[in-house]
A and B are shown apart, each in its own frame.
Chain A
């Protein structure tokens, strides 16, 4: 199994530009999560999907952030317009059923730097 795949691995952009992060979960996993990690705030859950449906987006910082999951094998996290404070590592994770203690498997992350 290839694990959770994220792209790009690194992204450097200028303030005001649109950024799109991509994720392919592990095949067969019903849950997909987007996290953001910074030194100051640690790992924060932004949004999660169950069977492609967004369940909880309360962690999404503001309207500049949006996430979609058009099918079971693909999700995107979009930031438009990007700001320097969005600089962080963005992780995607997937799980069979995390509520029954199933492990969440994380992708390698996308390191985003907004100048």
Chain B
């Protein structure tokens, strides 16, 4: 089993739609969680950290479910500019390791 798993997509949604991605992780000792965004042929950039109580940043909401070992990212009112690959990232302190998922590709269309 991969340490961090994501549905590769692509998720094709119309502008204005709400879309959600999930990511599962295998190490229950994982401590920190992040979503990064990567545009085509560009470098990954931090989108948001994921906190235990869940957190929101504008149209983006991140949730953590430790019991089921998954994190989610919800995007409301999708924009064309949201089209990108979203990488789930997990930090495991005991292994001192940051592990990236392979990403979920989102395509927002008119």
Contacts and interface: CB of A to CB of B under 8 A. Distances in A.
Given A42-B101, A43-B87, A101-B32, A56 B96 contact: yes
A14 B100 CA distance: 30
Interface stretch (A17-25, A61-69, A74-82, A102-110): A102-110
Given A91-B43, A109-B43, A42 B103 contact: yes
Contact of B102 (A35, A42, A45, A98): A42
Contacts, number: 40
Interface residues of B, number: 19
Contacts of B97: 45, 56
B46 A99 contact: no
B43 A99 contact: no
Interface of B: 32, 34, 42-46, 49, 87, 91, 93, 96-103
State the main secondary structure of chain B at its contact with A.
strand
Given A42-B100, A99-B93, A101-B34, 19 more contacts: A35-B100, A41-B102, A42-B87, A42-B101, A42-B102, A43-B44, A43-B100, A44-B100, A45-B97, A45-B98, A45-B100, A56-B97, A98-B91, A98-B98, A99-B91, A99-B96, A101-B32, A106-B43, A107-B43
Contact of B42 (A42, A44, A55, A108): A108
Contacts of A43: 44, 87, 100, 102
Given A42-B100, A43-B100, A101 B43 contact: no
Contacts of A106: 43-45
Interface in A5-60: 35, 41-45, 55-56
A104 B101 contact: no
B46 A103 contact: yes
Nearest to A6: B43
Given A42-B100, A43-B100, A104 B46 contact: yes
Contacts of A108: 42-43
Nearest to B43: A106
Given A43-B87, A106-B43, A101 B103 contact: no
